[in-house]
Amino acid sequence: MATFAAASAKPMAVIDSSQLNLSQKKLDGLRIGYAFAKRKDSSSLKVKSVSRINMTIATDVSRFEGVTMAPPDPILGVSEAFKADTNDLKLNLGVGAYRTEELQPYVLNVVKKAENLMLEKGDNKEYLPIEGLAAFNKATVELLLGADNNATKQGRVATVQGLSGTGSLRLAAAFIQRYFPGAQVLISSPTWGNHKNIFNDAGVPWSEYRYYDPKTVGLDFEGMIADIKAAPSGSFVLLHGCAHNPTGIDPTPEQWEKIADVIQEKNLTAFFDVAYQGFASGSLDQDASSVRLFVARGMEVFVAQSYSKNLGLYAERIGAINVVCSSSDAATRVKSQLKRLARPMYSNPPVHGARIVANVVGDPTLFNEWKSEMELMSGRIKGVRQRLYDNLSAKDKSAKDWSFVLRQIGMFSFTGLNKAQSDNMTNKWHVYMTKDGRISLAGLSLSKCEYLADAIIDSYYNVS
């Protein structure tokens, strides 16, 4: 629509009165209104200006016409579909968030105590430094590498608090893009759904290495080693520190040694994503053993951490990026550049979750309580995993080997179901899961295992 603006408005277009008729034709149907002014000595309205008319042209065409609709997130979209389902039997096994046996969200008791401690102290809400809370950074690197680790003692670790695992990965990706331009990141096939997005948005090229073997529903170790060996020198290899997402399949200690050998020989850099320390096995030390193996060899590594799962701090967005360097001088320089990257990205991190972690790890009593609660959560998932295996084995009359369910670790199980079979799980059985066949056992109760086993067996045998 085009209208004439009032005389007091800032003119956007000026049309000579002698050309008005021609302009009206050219505007092809656009409505034109004249601006009138009321004379002081008359109540009648007259045209204020004959020779010059101010006109403002407004259109109905949005500047965002070229913006297309983004596809739904493959993981978070599962929860939206689950909420819309009114069937009483529905199960949400898509999102990786811990649930109680009653399938309710769980806030750790130790977290509540840490928060009460914060209230008692009267902690303020002032900005943190760019690198985050000092007490958190100290606690997180010691939790990862051990308090007596030489790299920590020698000041060879650059640690910056990040926005959980995702933000920490993204900050490291920006660092790689800036200081190692053209270097590629090798990512396991399959991997967590957000890994590729993170490196794509950072402008970091990536390729895949073989990981999952559909024939055995296990690790394709030979393929993995061959692909890492074939990587260009200077590449980064993204590794899941424990509880591989989505497969739940981890290398053995002996296989980790071989992986470290190849990465060291080929002059590559390991980049660990540690999202489940203590949550996978129930042991903080065991779940960090892969990272500590590489650091003990004197290798420089990147490690992204998250406290979403092991402390249940999903919404607090608390994590860290650690870069283990060969010298304290290098660590100081790396940290300075990570801070430089963080400043225009998000300025500085949130404080609440950082204080929770610092309080829990820094207090021996709370720390021991936390370890007990992690064992409880990990133990519940192990119990559900065992029950699901028992139900599958009892119901399947074809003698199929379902033992891969027990060999997997952490909150996820890779069922081996394809997209069509996964769709059947949802459409017929109201079991919501990602389309790659991954299910979150953290969202399953013992009482629902038999129902899930029926759904899996029906989908596996009756849908191709």
CA distances from 335 to 276, 287, 320, 355 (A): 24, 25, 12, 21
Percent of the chain with pLDDT over 90: 81
Output the pTM of the full model. Answer: 0.85
User: Is residue 381 within 8 Å of residue 159, measured between CB atoms?
Assistant: no
CA 180 from chain centre, in angstroms, equals 23
Q: What are phi and psi of 206, to 5 degrees?
A: -140, 160
Give me the active site residues, please: 192, 273, 309
Beta strands in 211-317 (DSSP E): 212-213, 218-219, 236-240, 269-274, 301-306
CB-based contacts of 299: which residues, under 8 Å, 6+ apart? Answer: 260, 263, 264, 269, 270, 324
Instruction: Indicate if the pLDDT at residue 423 is higher than 90.
Output: yes
Q: Helices 328-346 & 164-179, crossing angle to 10 degrees? A: 110
Tell me the pLDDT band of 219, cut-offs 50, 70 and 90.
very high
Instruction: Indicate if the pLDDT at residue 7 is higher than 50.
Output: no
Q: State the distance between the two ends of the chain, measured CA to CA, in whole angstroms.
A: 56
Q: Which two tokens stand for residue 193?
A: 């759904």
Structure confidence by residue, pLDDT tens digits, 356-400? 999 999 999 999 999 999 999 999 999 999 999 999 999 998 989
**Secondary structure class of 128 (helix, strand, coil):** coil
CA distances from 260 to 158, 245, 280 (A): 21, 20, 21
Instruction: Indicate if the pLDDT at residue 322 is higher than 80.
Output: yes
> For the chain, what are the domain ranges?
2-57, 76-106+375-462, 109-367
Q: What are phi and psi of 414, to 5 degrees?
A: -95, 110
Tell me the pLDDT band of 303, cut-offs 50, 70 and 90.
very high
Which helix (H) or strand (E) segment holds residue 425: the answer is helix 419-427
Structure confidence by residue, pLDDT tens digits, 75-116? 778 888 999 999 999 999 998 899 999 999 999 999 999 999
Q: Which two tokens stand for residue 28?
A: 């092809």
Q: Does domain 109-367 have CATH number 3.40.640.10?
A: yes
Architecture of domain 76-106+375-462: Alpha-Beta Complex (3.90)
**Residue 166: count of CB within 10 angstroms of its CB:** 21
Structure confidence by residue, pLDDT tens digits, 236-282? 999 999 999 999 999 999 999 999 999 999 999 999 999 999 999 99
Residue found under tokens 């393929």: 223
pLDDT, residue 57, reads: 58
Torsional sign, CA 404, 410, 411, 412: negative
Tell me the pLDDT band of 54, cut-offs 50, 70 and 90.
low
Nearest to 449 by CA among 77, 76, 93, 96: 93
User: Is residue 153 within 8 Å of residue 288, measured between CB atoms?
Assistant: no
Instruction: Indicate if the pLDDT at residue 42 is higher than 70.
Output: no
Contacts 24+ apart (CB under 8 A), 220-226: 221/251, 221/255, 221/258, 224/188, 224/259, 225/258, 225/259, 225/262
Instruction: Indicate if the pLDDT at residue 405 is higher than 60.
Output: yes
